[in-house]
Amino acid sequence: MFKIWSKAQWFLVGMGLFALILMPSFSENYEIRKWMDILTIAILAMSWNFIGGLTGYPSFAPAAFFGLGAYVTAIFMNAGFNFFLTLAIGSVFGGLIALLIGIPILRLRGHYFAIATFGVAEFFRELAENLRITGGGDGINLPQITGGPDYFTRFFYFSMLGVAVLTFLVQYFVTRHRLGYGLVAIRENEDAAAMTGIDTRKYKVIAFVLSSIFPAMGGGVYAYRAAFLEPIDVFDILFSIKAIVMAMLGGVGTVMGPLVGSFLLEYLTDYLWSAFTEFHSLFLGLFIVLIVLFLPRGLMSLFQELRLKGLRSLGTTLRSNIQRYRV
């Protein structure tokens, strides 16, 4: 189901990356910051894809590990560590915690798993609000970056881009590897997958760990840029929801889907947000409802269908989408 990409496909992705690398040379700081936010969400969406998309376990944990990574970076930078080193520490830390939590909660299925991950995210937030090392509800300051706004906007943008590229590559190789096929098998039928000799527990835990280390890294970059963290900001469950919605818009379980989804939706909501500042969440909510009703299998599958049947069938495809899952 996942084909090795042809040279043309790699060429297109390379062009996209090239554009993202060149973009800061031609853009205002505001525009660069916007793209950095898009990349942040893209990292979360791609990471969610490991556990939610490929494995079919609806996790709300991205926010938990995003916040965890942010706080690890904050605490270690305050202790005098180098920024990039703290990113590495954060991701290792995130991976270890994911391993510890993943082993017990991945025994749960369906909504119970969703609620458990939700509980984990909320528990982390409550913990950050009450521990002394995290500064409690007052929040925590990070060392300020030196250099002018032109410099540090680009510094953070490229750091985030680096994390995003890493996430994308790992995602690509996992889907072309035995691991990716195993995960999809678990999604389709876990018992059958176990019968064919897949160590389902090990596979699920690996997927959960993979889906945790990249948000932790992204959280670290976010923390350094924000220079001040509050539990309510970084453990915001909206990070998880956004990740899921973006992945859904693009196409759950596909490689390009989460990326396309986050670029599109984040750009769109940002555009509307600047027009109607107060109603940002209203528009995001509307988009979510429309996506679930009309594109339940994502844009990628819509593209495929349109390529087969032609653009004229757009209306019928959308109509049949809304009929597909009704009672």
Partner 1 sequence: MIYIQILINSILLGGIYACVAVGFSLVWGVMNILNILHGTFLMLGGYVTFWLFKLYGVDPFLSLPISATLMFVVGYVVQRGLINKIVRAPMFMSLILTFGLQMIVVRLAIYFFTGDYRTVEPSYASFSLSYFGLIIPFVRAAIFVLGLILTGILFWFMAKTRTGRAIRATRMDLDSAQLMGVNVGNIYAITYGLGAAVAATSGSLISVGFAISPVIDVEFLSKSFIICTIGGLGNISGALAGGLILGLVENFGALYFGPGLQNAIGYVVLILVLFIRPSGLLGRKGFD
Binding partner 1 (rule: CB under 8 A), the pick from 20, 88, 115, 306 is 115
Sign of CA dihedral 218, 221, 226, 231: positive
Q: Which residues contact 71 (CB under 8 A, 6 or more apart)?
A: 128, 134, 140, 219, 223, 229, 234
Residue 286 binds to partner 1 (criterion: CB under 8 A): yes
Stretch that binds partner 1, among 21-29, 76-84, 164-172, 290-298 (CB under 8 A): 290-298
Q: Footprint of partner 1 on residues 246-265 (CB under 8 A)?
A: 248
Residue 287 binds to partner 1 (criterion: CB under 8 A): yes
Cβ–Cβ < 8 Å for 49, 200: no
Binding partner 1 (rule: CB under 8 A), the pick from 96, 195, 293, 314 is 293
Residue 232 binds to partner 1 (criterion: CB under 8 A): no
Closer by beta carbon to partner 1, 55 or else 91: 55
Residue 145 binds to partner 1 (criterion: CB under 8 A): no
Closer by beta carbon to partner 1, 159 or else 301: 301
Binding partner 1 (rule: CB under 8 A), the pick from 13, 17, 92, 127 is 127
Q: Footprint of partner 1 on residues 42-61 (CB under 8 A)?
A: 52, 56, 58
Joined tokens for residue 124: 């982390």
Could you count the other beta carbons within 10 Å of the beta carbon of residue 162? 15
Q: Which residues contact 131 (CB under 8 A, 6 or more apart)?
A: none
CA-to-CA distance for 279 and 327, rounded, in angstroms? 33
Which candidate, 69, 33, 36, places its Cα nearest to that of 229?
69
Binding partner 1 (rule: CB under 8 A), the pick from 63, 68, 120, 160 is 120
Least distance in angstroms from the C-beta of 23 to partner 1:
30
Q: HSE, CB side, 13 Å, CA atoms: give it for residue 175.
A: 23
180, with CB counted inside 10 A (0-12, 13-18, 19+), is buried
Least distance in angstroms from the C-beta of 113 to partner 1:
9
CA-to-CA distance for 298 and 277, rounded, in angstroms? 28
Binding partner 1 (rule: CB under 8 A), the pick from 108, 165, 268, 306 is 108
Return the SS3 of 251: coil
Binding partner 1 (rule: CB under 8 A), the pick from 17, 92, 194, 241 is 241
Stretch that binds partner 1, among 24-32, 87-95, 120-128, 219-227 (CB under 8 A): 120-128
Bridge partner list, 141: 228
Stretch that binds partner 1, among 64-72, 152-160, 213-221, 274-282 (CB under 8 A): 274-282
Binding partner 1 (rule: CB under 8 A), the pick from 31, 126, 138, 188 is 126
Residue 282 binds to partner 1 (criterion: CB under 8 A): yes
- Outline where DSSP puts E strands in the chain: 140-141, 228-229
Closer by beta carbon to partner 1, 133 or else 289: 289
Residue 289 binds to partner 1 (criterion: CB under 8 A): yes
Could you count the other beta carbons within 10 Å of the beta carbon of residue 12? 13
Phi-psi region of 189 (alpha: psi -120 to 50; beta: other; left: phi over 0): beta
Which candidate, 182, 183, 258, 177, places its Cα nearest to that of 4?
177
Residue 288 binds to partner 1 (criterion: CB under 8 A): yes
Q: Report the interface residues with partner 1, using CB under 8 A.
A: 52, 56, 58, 104-105, 107-112, 114-116, 118-120, 122-123, 126-127, 129-130, 241, 244-245, 248, 278-279, 281-282, 284-289, 292-293, 296, 322, 324-327
